[in-house]
Structure formats: structure tokens, C-alpha cells
Amino acid sequence: MQLRPIFLFFGLFLMPWLSYGQALERYSIIPRPAQLEPRAGDFVISRSTSIQVPVSEAGLKAIVDTFANTINRSTGLGVSVRDLNPSAAGSGNLIRFAPVTDTTLGEEGYRIDATDRLVTIEATGPKGFFYAVQTLYQLLPPDVLQPKITAGGSAEPSLRMPACRIQDRPRYVYRGLHLDVSRHFFPVSFVKRYIDLMALHKFNTFHWHLTDDQGWRIEIKKYPKLTQVGAQRRETIVGHYDDYDPQVFDGKPYGGFYTQDEVREVVRYAATRQITVVPEIEMPGHALAALAAYPELACAPGPYTPATKWGVFTDVFCPTEQTFTFLQHVLTEVMDLFPGKYIHIGGDECPKDAWRKSAFCQQLIRREGLKNENELQSWFITRIDKFVTGKGRRIIGWDEILEGGLSPNATVMSWRGTKGGIEAARQRHDVIMTPGAFCYLDHLQGDPAQEPMGFGGILPLSMVYGYNPTAAELTPDQQKYILGVQGNVWAEYLPTAAQVEYMVWPRAAALAEVAWTPLALKNYDDFSRRLPAYFDRLDRLRVNYSRTVYDPAFTAKPTADGRVEVAMAANALSSAIRYTLDGSIPSGESPRYEKPLLLDKNTSLRAAAFADQKPLSQLAKVQKEFIVSLATGKSYTHLNAPTTGRPDKGAMLTDGKTGGMGGYEVADVVSFAGDFGMVIDLGQAQPVQSVQIGFLKYTARNICLPRQVDIAVSDDGKTFRPVLTSKTNAAEGGKRGFARLPFEFAPTTARYVRVVARNVGTVPAGLRNPGKPAQLAIDEVEVR
């Protein structure tokens, strides 16, 4: 079929009767199609509409039946599905699914030709038709995705779909999302919901991380103790890994696993949504749950228990014949459950301590002519690769499998940046790109002080969208080995389904467009303008998605007269920012931000983006604390230089901004390897009677409170008179956070205030790292 002239979606050549804004409103599709020609008019689905499909093609018929049922469930229209009759093309209001032979579409491509009377959907097979249906859902009103009939008036129900012509196919053959169910377990019902959302975004691979140190989550008939013992941990660490010193545990047994029947159910369910499930069975590291069940598979006798906290553990599989027999039996059962081409065998974060200490491993290294333990890991992976390949499958491993030499048939999943993927592609190995800086959806989405708990690192929506999996430094021949891209969702800090959804959406939608849309058509501004309609769809699906993209951005600076000026900027889609100054949650009646605010006292500022009177931000989330004192905006000198890791960037200690923390991230603090000392020039002599200092207590990272604080004042900046020496508790552990310590003294008059905080020197006994060099970290210093 010869195509008509194609108009690129949101391009410069939109039909003259459509404005830019109208086009965005009418065709809010994610991921953006490869080609879209807007047309005037709408196709209206009503009770008289019928759907035609060749009923002899069972796979296609099932897809179309689901489409019709979705429409009927949400509207009550009762649209019928009939056998394909090409002669009826011009006879009425009709949706026609027509298989074609067209190599330009490929296996996953499709065409939609929609006029006001006829919608024709063409593809070469079920995959293309399935993706066409996902596009149809996004052309229809969001209500079509509701699980039950939408309440309405007496009018005859109908659905309007804008007329258009689309020809579409994906950029990459591998478009994946991952889910870790070992650290926290999620029921089959949520796994299916996760797959449903993947399907709507045209992902085609679900990477199911089933085993790790904290739990073995898949039933293996030959080894029942894997789930009897390995699926249960006695308790779980509370909060973030570094939240408490010493660490705190909840004392509650935690477990869960999937039976083989449940696994088959998930695999079948995913297949109906054109999604292949890739299981991951970790080896040779991240094996503690398996070793708890079968300690004879380790290099030392044990006993072992499933891990109760996160991280990397030195207990790994020992490369004995007994271990390989075990792994081959496990993988045989796994391959019987998962019919897809790939089996993921992990291969990451495998410490070599146990192998170095093992006489057996050292003898094996010599016997096989290996240089070191890295080559032993390569030998281990190669042996598993040969077994899996012999069963007609292929292995995927994390990029550590490159160390010591890459197994011949392995596909590399590059997570430690892009270097491993580039190296593997140059060696002509297939690669799936999933670098943490762009694809780890358990990282924070915005301001660490505002986001719920996550692993750490900041990965905003725009950064996900901006990623290009095909590295420019690869030659065209090497680039063909980049199969695609995957988003990873590690669940250490995601104990509930709602938290998983918050971290995944909408960032996974941005990744879907990375994976599907031609690079030349990607445009973040266009993507952002499609978000309101997209969020409406997620609302209908009751997804707990993040609206961090709408969070107002803050800039603050001290003024010459000692106040703090706070400016806020909204997302381009927000019509207003509303705020409060007393810590209360903003509403549609709260003051509207018009110009920078001038704060003359300590203030708890909350702000949220609004469209008209409707809040767009998560209302209770964005809160900033600002401090105003005699020291605000005043100059000061350091008595000791800050560390290079957390330097003083422009008088941070008197700028009125308080520090923040989330995950492993700390913002707006200045750290010191030794004592902290500063002299503040208040500009003129004036009464003073107190100093308050914000200290970061983060003893898990060796940042302690001081042992003593000395305060002195001066009239000339040269001769100082002491006004206070105060002992503080440098050995205080507990929950990390900011401690604003007050120091009051007899009222006096002075122009200069000298503050010295004495470092304890080494981390005190009773904390996590006793004897290690201690640091001080300072937030804001107040003088009153």
C-alpha cells in the first residue's frame, strides 16, 4: 500500500485547521508514534458501531475481544465483534482489523487509518495489532480505561476518537521493565497489574528478579527447602540502610514465594499482552537465601540465614560439581516454566573472599589454568552458559560477567554506566542498556528532602527521557548489537505496591518513549505537554504515580538587609503556584505566588502547583524551612578549610537555606575533617545572646556531633572574649538527621561572633565504625 504524505507528530507541518495546542490535546499518545498525520473530524463509537476481525485468526480475535470488552465495560455500549467483511468498509460506522503482508511494518508495527466513518487497523500479526489497540486506548477518552461503567446523564453514551493516520513501529526490539521481588515480595495480583501497565506503554519484556540474599521466591520441586527456608527471613531492617546507628530491625518474620502454578499463570497472562517474562536466578553471588537452605553449596560449612538487611554479602556459591548439579536442576525447572529465549543468571556483585580462602577454589584455578578469581567467575558463567545454550536458550548477565572474559553466547545487561555495554557491543555481543544513572527507577525523582524513601541518587523524569541507549562512539555495525533498554526497580526501599508505582510512573513512560520512538522525534517539551492527558489515564487506572514533575522549583538567597528572598518557578503546564507560610497544606484559597517572597523570620514554606483551583503537585509534599537571624546574609571567614567532598559554595552557612537529606543524598551542608570554626561579621555592634548551629548527625557515614562548642565575641575582629563553652554528646547515635543545637549566653554587645565546634576525632565506641576518622557537617548558623 502506498502511503500518503506523512505529517510528523507535533511537527512543523500540522494540518492548517489544527493549532499546535489542539494537536497536543487530540493526539496525546505515549510512546509517541513514528508517523502521525492529523485529520479533521472524529470517529464516534456508539451502540451502532461494529468491529470486524477475521475470526479464524484466534490470536487476533482474542486481542479484539479484549478491546471490545474494555469499551463495553466502561461505557455499556455493547459494541459487537463480527467476522471480517471487506465489502462492508463503506457501509457504516465500523472498526476493521485487517491482517496484511507488509515488510515495512515488521513484527511489531501497525497502521491506523481513522476517518469519521471507518477505522482500519493493519498489522502483520498479533503483536502489531496489540500495539495498535494500545494506541487506540490513548486516542479514546481516558474513561475508556475505567474498570466499570462511567456514571453519566441521560444522553446516549459514546466515545470520540480523533481522525488520523498512523504508521508506527518500535525503535528497539527489547523494551523492558524489571521488578525485584526478593527484597520485598509482591503478590500475583500486583505482578499482573504491573504487566498491564507495561503493556499499555508497549514494553515487551518483564524481567522478574526472583532470587537474592534476602529471599528465594520461586518454587523448585526438586529442592523444597529453597522456599521452606530460603523464602523466609527472620526480620527486616527498618528505614534506610544508614537511617539508624546501630541499625534497627522490625523483629517481624517476612516471607513469600510463587508456586509453579502461579508462575505459569503470570507467564500466560503476560503472553496475552505480548510480554515475554525473563526470570533471574542469581549466581554465583547474591546466593545467601539459597545457601541458608543448602549450606553444602558454599565454600564454608555455615550455617547461613537469609539476609535481613541490604547490601552485598561475601557468602557465594562454591564452584563445585555439587553446586553445578544443583544449579542445572534449578535451571531445568525454571526453563520448563519460562518458554522465552532468555534466562538471566545475574553475575553481579560477587565478592571473591570465599573463593580466595577456599583450598578447593585455589586448586580449581590452577587446574583450569586460570589467572585469578575473576577468571574463575568467567569459567563459572561459561559453564552455565553451555548448559543453558544446550537447552536451546540464551543467558543474560549483568556487566560484571565481562570480567575475566565474556562467555561466548552471553547477552550483557549494562548497569554500571554504559562502558560495559559499549565494550560488549564492540566484542559483537548483544547488549541491553540499563545504566543506573538513567534507568534505575528506585532512585529519587527530585529534591531529596521532599521525596519518599528511595535508594539514593537523583533521577528526574527529564533525565530518563533524555537517555539514548545507542552510544555515538559505536560504529553502525556495532550499534546493531544494542538490542534495547530496560528500567530497573529494586525493592529494598519499596515495601508496598503503592510505593513501587510511585517510583515507576511516569518515569517508565519516559523510558517507553526512549525504547519505542525514533530518536529524531523525541522532544521533552512535547512529552511534557502530553503528560496531563496521560495523568488522566493513570487516574482512571488508579495508579499511584508521582507528580514530582509539577513540584515548584525553589531558589533562595539572602538580601542585603538580612532577609531571605525566595523565588519559585512552576512547570510550564501549571497555571499557578499557591503557598502557605505556616506549614499548613496549600489549597485553592491559599495565596497565589506572584513575585519573590521576602522572609524576615524563620518560616516553614509549603507550595504546590495548581491548574485553576485543581492541585497538580502532591499537596503535602513540598515543604522548605528557611532561617532568618542576625547572621543571615552576613559575611564570615573559615578558621579551617572545608573538605573537598562537601565544600562551602558561596556562604552556605548564613544563606538562610536549611539542609536536606534523602536516600544517600545530603544537600546544603559543609563538612570538615577536623574542627569547624568561623568568624561572622554582623556588620555593626549589636546585642547578641544566643547561637544556634545545625549539625548533621550521620554516624553511619562517620559524621558525628562535636564533643564541644566554644563561642566568643569581639568588637574589632581581633580580640575575642569567650562567652560560652558547652560540652555536647559526640557519641550520640540513633536516627540520622539534622540537630539544631542552641547555645545561650549572657546578653552582650558585639560585632563579630566566633564559633568553634571541636571534632571528636574518631568515631566513638558503640557506633557503626568505631575508631574511623570522624567528620563534622554544618547546616546553618543563627545568631540572635
Q: Where are the alpha helices (DSSP H) in 99-228?
A: 126-139, 188-200, 225-228
Reading the block at residue 671, the C-alpha cell is 563538612
**Dihedral of CA 292/298/303/306: which sign?**
negative
Task: Give the sheet arrangement for strand 564-569, strand by strand.
Answer: 553-558, 564-569, 597-599
Of 235, 262, 333, 349, the catalytic one is 349
Type of residue at 374? N
Instruction: Judge whether 440 and 459 are in contact, CB under 8 Å.
Output: yes
Q: In 3-state terms, what secondary structure has residue 436?
A: helix
Q: What's the angle, vertex CA 498, arms to CA 259 and CA 485, rounded to 5? A: 75
Determine what percent of the chain falls in helix, strand and coil, rounding each to the nearest 5. Answer: 25, 30, 45
* Residue 56: exposure state from Cβ atoms within 10 A (0-12, 13-18, ≥19): exposed
Burial 270-308 (b: 16+ CB within 10 A, else e): beebbbbbbbbbbbbbbbbbbbbbbeebbbeeeebbbbb
Helix (H) or strand (E) holding 112: strand 110-114
Burial 118-128 (b: 16+ CB within 10 A, else e): bbbbbbbbbbb
Largest CA distance in the chain: 101
- Please list the residues that pair with 768 across neighbouring strands: none
Establish whether 403 is a catalytic residue: no
Q: What's the angle, vertex CA 459, arms to CA 453 and CA 463, rounded to 5? A: 160
182 vs 431: CA distance, rounded Å: 25
Type of residue at 179? L
Collect all residues with Cβ–Cβ distance below 8 Å to 411 and sequence separation of at least 6: 342, 394, 395, 396, 397, 429, 430, 431, 432, 483
Strands (E), 570-622: 576-580, 597-599, 603-611, 614-615
Instruction: Judge whether 180 and 280 are in contact, CB under 8 Å.
Output: no
CA-wise closest residue to 396 among 381, 379, 378, 375: 381
286 vs 655: CA distance, rounded Å: 45
- Please list the residues that pair with 283 across neighbouring strands: 346
Type of residue at 10? F
49 vs 625: CA distance, rounded Å: 58
Strands (E), 493-635: 553-558, 564-569, 576-580, 597-599, 603-611, 614-615, 623-626
Q: In 3-state terms, what secondary structure has residue 207?
A: strand
**CB atoms inside a 10 Å sphere around CB 607:** 27
Place of cell 509453579: 260
Q: What is the DSSP letter of 258?
A: B
Instruction: Judge whether 393 and 335 are in contact, CB under 8 Å.
Output: yes
26 vs 200: CA distance, rounded Å: 18
113 vs 43: CA distance, rounded Å: 11
Instruction: Judge whether 195 and 270 are in contact, CB under 8 Å.
Output: yes
Reading the block at residue 198, the C-alpha cell is 507495561
Reading the block at residue 76, the C-alpha cell is 455499556
Strands (E), 399-481: 411-414, 431-433
Helix (H) or strand (E) holding 68: helix 58-75
Helix (H) or strand (E) holding 267: helix 260-271
Strands (E), 273-340: 276-283
- Residues with catalytic annotation? 349
